[in-house]
Structure 1
Amino acid sequence: MKKRAGLAAAAILVTTGLAQAQSLEPFRYGTVATKGDAGFVYMGAEDGFDNSFGLDIDMQSFKGDSILLRGLLAGELDAYIGNPGGPMIAASKGADIKIIACPWPGLTYALFTKPEITSVDQLAGGTIGVSAPGSLPDLFSRAVVKSAGIPLDAVNFTVAGSDAERIAAVSADLITAAPSSSEFNAKAPELGLHMLVHARDVVPEYVRFCIMTRGDIVRDSPDYIASFLAAQLKGFSFALQNKEATLALSYDKAELPPEDEAPVMIYDEVVEFGAVDPEMTVDVEKLKWLSDLLGETGNMDAGFDPATMVDTSVLEDAKALLAAQ
């Protein structure tokens, strides 16, 4: 079983003797590299959540969404939480991928630059550091540029690593701007940077995280997926209602020093703006907006209907499981 973390452990020791004694089924669950918001994402995999539904969820952290997608398609993951852009591109080309829940509809993301850049217009002719094509950093940056009416070919987009690596590149004047989780605003001043725009102000339709799995798993093992989603429902709900436990888990998983304010900043932002949805509702209209963006940016052929890759039947089953506890 996984290690319990500080305050989180005390808060979630709710398993019964029966749940502890039963044989737990492993579930391989992927996420992007841990940051200050890790408490929200990891809570549903902690003891007291996963094992109360007969699972032992193994959280696996990867550097970016594209690696998670490859792992899912290769059968190395059972599900992952990430941006739905890459899976949508894959589904438009025939991949059997399903969006089964969207726990983080609010995009807690921003574009960071040096203070002398005060408007998106000034990015014309500059370079924005992103991640792999079709990833959240790439699509978000292109959406910001488009929102300002700037032709995409007026800006250079270059792969520049993880959030932390991209931010460091801006600080070192290697690139003009970089997208990152908005929690980096806590460290921006000491790096000589500032937040140019926040996602909620320019692309409020952009969904941050959905949960994806393969269609064959949904068809062949619906109870398995429903149990997993029930643990996630329970975890996100608990995280929103228990700040100290969630912060303790964030600091532990991201291995952050106590003086780092990022976990506190992102928690407060999530709560203030309702960025996390404990019901994990899939908003198909927002996914259609993303599909249109992907068509406009040339990442995939226009006209793909994301509703064809949505399957919320297992989410409804998960809610029934949770209600029965």
Structure 2
Amino acid sequence: MFNRPRRTTAGRFAIAIGLITLFAAPAVAADKVRAGTSGLALLWTFIDSGTKAGIWQKYGIEVERVALAGDAVMQQALTSGDIQFGFGSGPGMGYHSKGVPAIGVAAVAGPPYSFMITVVPKSPIRSADDLKGRRIGVTTAGSMTQWLVRELSRQKGWGPNGIIDLPMGAPRTQLVAMKAGELDGTVTTVETTATYEEQNEARGVLELGELVKDFHTHVLFARTELIDKNPDLVARFLKGWFATVAYMKANKTFAIKESAAAMKYSESSITKAMDAQFEMLSDDGRWNPKAIDKISSSLVELGILEKEPPRDKLYTDRFVPVTP
């Protein structure tokens, strides 16, 4: 009779460990990045939703979103290195010419369909024609909201100052000032306006999406040091973001639920705003030359720069192309 050699418990354990080591795939740690978001916007909640949906993980990235008060604060965070990426406004592209070591790497959104002019319920203001000489609250000096007010005034034939824009900070601060009679209206997002209307605190008067068709309302910025030293990470971050956009568009119910929970708004108010977000969102980040021209002129109008900068000071087409 053939006698098989007996294996000791220790021997069997060693073999098991060896098999696990042989067949197990090596664990690769995800790249951790901090992405700043400028101001309060429904769109920024997509970053966190992308994590919950497992999208960022597919590209080997772990994203920490950092909410910041506005473009100026976000650009400061990019300068200090506190964040590696920043989601800001089109006019924020001018900060690179002022020495900020970050530049636009992709267009995030086109026309400003997410913005409205809002007034208190009993206001006599009913249309754009009623806004001449009115005091309209905006977030900060040099902001996207300030430019929108000035552009509206210019298009109405009143010059850039035919409507008085007053930097007042956060939406809630502006609402308080409006109720106190210090403002005649404010520039707010569609979702914020919808929330005000549900609570009978204010009402929307004018959607600003038709105001300017060729524009990049939101832009993604990356630190130039990161672009130079780790372009692969920048490319993967862009893929992760646009995969997230595609997922949210394909799963609207999920998008509404997650954004409502993140912003602490009702799902009904987010529902009213979601289509506007989808309409303005870019699917691939391509740069629009006409939009770049409009942003260049806005930088001078807002006093961010003394003259229009060359295009390579505003953005790089290293990761996404320019639309022909």
Normalising TM by the smaller chain, what interval? Answer: 0.7 to 0.9
What's the CA shift for 1:41?
4.1
Deviations 1:35-89 (A, max 9, x none): 444443433344612221111111111222221111111111101111021231x
SS at match of 1:205: coil
Deviations 1:249-272 (A, max 9, x none): 21222133xx4522111112334x
Decide whether aligned partners of structure 1 residues 94 and 122 sit closer, same or farther in structure 2, where only a CA change above 3 A counts: same
**Distance across 2 between alignment mates of 1:42 and 1:236:** 12
| C-alpha contact 2:111 2:210 (8 A) present in aligned 1 | no
**Distance across 2 between alignment mates of 1:63 and 1:133:** 13
Q: TM-score normalized by structure 2?
A: 0.81
What's the CA shift for 1:279?
1.3
The residue that corresponds to 1:284 in the other structure is 289
Q: How many residues align structurally?
A: 294
Letter in 2 for 1:199: L
The residue that corresponds to 1:14 in the other structure is none
Q: Aligned to 1:226, which of 219, 235, 238?
A: 235
The residue that corresponds to 1:248 in the other structure is 257
SS at match of 1:152: coil
The residue that corresponds to 2:205 in the other structure is 196
What's the CA shift for 1:315?
4.0
**Distance across 1 between alignment mates of 2:144 and 2:255:** 24
Deviations 1:5-56 (A, max 9, x none): xxxxxxxxxxxx969x421121010113454444434333446122211111
The residue that corresponds to 2:275 in the other structure is 268
Letter in 1 for 2:276: E
Q: Tell me, yes or no, if structure 1 residue 101 matches structure 2 residue 109.
A: no
| C-alpha contact 2:142 2:304 (8 A) present in aligned 1 | yes
The residue that corresponds to 2:5 in the other structure is none
Gaps of 5+ in 1: 1-16, 317-325
SS at match of 1:66: helix
Decide whether aligned partners of structure 1 residues 295 and 40 sit closer, same or farther in structure 2, where only a CA change above 3 A counts: same
SS at match of 2:55: coil
What's the CA shift for 1:226?
1.0
Q: Aligned to 2:191, which of 183, 186, 190?
A: 183
Deviations 1:224-256 (A, max 9, x none): 111111111111110111111111221222133
SS at match of 2:75: helix
The residue that corresponds to 2:309 in the other structure is 304
The residue that corresponds to 1:164 in the other structure is 172
Q: TM-score normalized by structure 1?
A: 0.81
**Distance across 2 between alignment mates of 1:244 and 1:42:** 16
Decide whether aligned partners of structure 1 residues 202 and 244 sit closer, same or farther in structure 2, where only a CA change above 3 A counts: same
**Distance across 1 between alignment mates of 2:218 and 2:259:** 17
| C-alpha contact 1:247 1:263 (8 A) present in aligned 2 | yes
SS at match of 1:158: strand
Decide whether aligned partners of structure 1 residues 49 and 74 sit closer, same or farther in structure 2, where only a CA change above 3 A counts: same
The residue that corresponds to 1:110 in the other structure is 116
**Distance across 1 between alignment mates of 2:115 and 2:47:** 16
Deviations 1:248-299 (A, max 9, x none): 221222133xx4522111112334xx21122122223202112112223433
Higher mean Cα deviation, 124-133 or 213-222?
A: 124-133
| C-alpha contact 2:43 2:277 (8 A) present in aligned 1 | no
The residue that corresponds to 1:87 in the other structure is 93
Decide whether aligned partners of structure 1 residues 299 and 148 sit closer, same or farther in structure 2, where only a CA change above 3 A counts: farther
SS at match of 1:233: helix
Q: Tell me, yes or no, if structure 1 residue 138 matches structure 2 residue 143.
A: no
Letter in 2 for 1:133: A
Q: Superposition RMSD on alpha carbons, in Å?
A: 2.4
Higher mean Cα deviation, 231-240 or 128-137?
A: 128-137
The residue that corresponds to 2:30 in the other structure is 24
Q: Tell me, yes or no, if structure 1 residue 64 matches structure 2 residue 70.
A: yes
Gaps of 5+ in 2: 1-23
Q: Tell me, yes or no, if structure 1 residue 44 matches structure 2 residue 53.
A: no
Computing the radius of gyration over CA atoms, which structure comes out larger, 1 or 2? Answer: 2
SS at match of 2:142: coil
